[in-house]
Amino acid sequence: MFMGAGINLIMHCPPEMGGVAGAWNQTMAQIGGAICLAVQAGLEEKTLRNWRPNARSFWFEVAVFGAAAIVYFVGYSEPESPEKEHELARERMKVVEQRWEKADE
């Protein structure tokens, strides 16, 4: 799911923003992975003799993947062609640039 979303993000960005989109995608993957692994490690017990205390870690993983799936299914929309998406992104960038110019005045 993550790989598909990342490829979608980069593919539908304008070519001039592909590097930024790839960097943003990879940064979020690294930060999210570090946070999830830290929480999961914190939920585990020091010994593995009894699996019940360590089940919290497993259920945390299930909850994270479930939350990601819900976000994906709720927020996903069928993209247009890459060319159309590039043009729409450029228009949104122009609007943001105009807002920044007005804020600087």
Q: Would you list the domain boundaries of the chain?
A: 2-104
Q: How many residues does the chain have?
A: 105
Quick check: 17 and 85 in contact, CB under 8 A? no
Q: Is the pLDDT of residue 77 over 80?
A: no
Measure the CA–CA gap between 54 and 44, rounded to whole angstroms: 5
Q: What is the pLDDT of residue 32?
A: 85
Could you report the per-residue pLDDT of 37-50, keeping only the tens digit for each?
A: 898 888 888 777 77
Quick check: 21 and 10 in contact, CB under 8 A? yes
Q: How many helices (H) and strands (E) does the chain have?
A: 4, 0
Measure the CA–CA gap between 84 and 79, rounded to whole angstroms: 9
Mean pLDDT, residues 11-15: 80
Q: Is the pLDDT of residue 101 over 80?
A: yes
* 92 or 4, greater pLDDT: 92
